[in-house]
Amino acid sequence: MEKRSPTGDELRASVEARRELGPEYEDSLIEGFLDKMDHEIDRRVEERVAARVPQQKPKAPAVRPGVDAGQRLALAIVSIVFGVGSTLAFTIADRSAGPMILVWFGIIVVNIAFAVGSRR
């Protein structure tokens, strides 16, 4: 007795439906068959992967990472842009050093606070 596969049965059913319905339904039947085969392939791949992948150990609780390099870089860029921009603005506007020193002091305080906060 001949062993039949589900894939072969699907193909036979599609060919038989094409005979009964005619060539105007051929595109729909082909798309339906290919969709079923796509799902069957996905199912088989998932089975094989599940059989090969060893049981994974439970993950350790996530440790909250510290401040990453991207945040440091962003703060550095913003500090430089704000500091240089405000220095240029105060220099062009009235040439007094008082407000410019306050801006730079503020930038320094923010950077120190960020550095101290990221160490905790």
Q: Which residue has the higher pLDDT, 59 or 41?
A: 41
Among 34, 33, 39, 38, which Cα is nearest to 17's? 33
Distance (Å, whole) CA 26 – CA 16: 11
Give 4-28 pLDDT, tens digit per residue. Answer: 667 778 778 888 888 888 888 888 8
Predicted pLDDT at 80: 92
In sequence order, the 6+-apart residues with CB closer than 8 A to the CB of 71 are 118
Predicted pLDDT at 58: 63
State if pTM tops 0.75: no
Give 60-82 pLDDT, tens digit per residue. Answer: 666 555 557 788 888 889 999 98
Distance (Å, whole) CA 108 – CA 102: 10
Predicted pLDDT at 61: 63
Predicted pLDDT at 109: 92
Residue 4 CA to chain centroid, in angstroms? 43
Give 31-49 pLDDT, tens digit per residue. Answer: 888 888 888 888 888 888 8
Predicted pLDDT at 64: 53
Confidence of residue 105 (pLDDT cuts 50, 70, 90): very high
Which stretch of DSSP H or E encloses residue 118?
A: helix 98-119
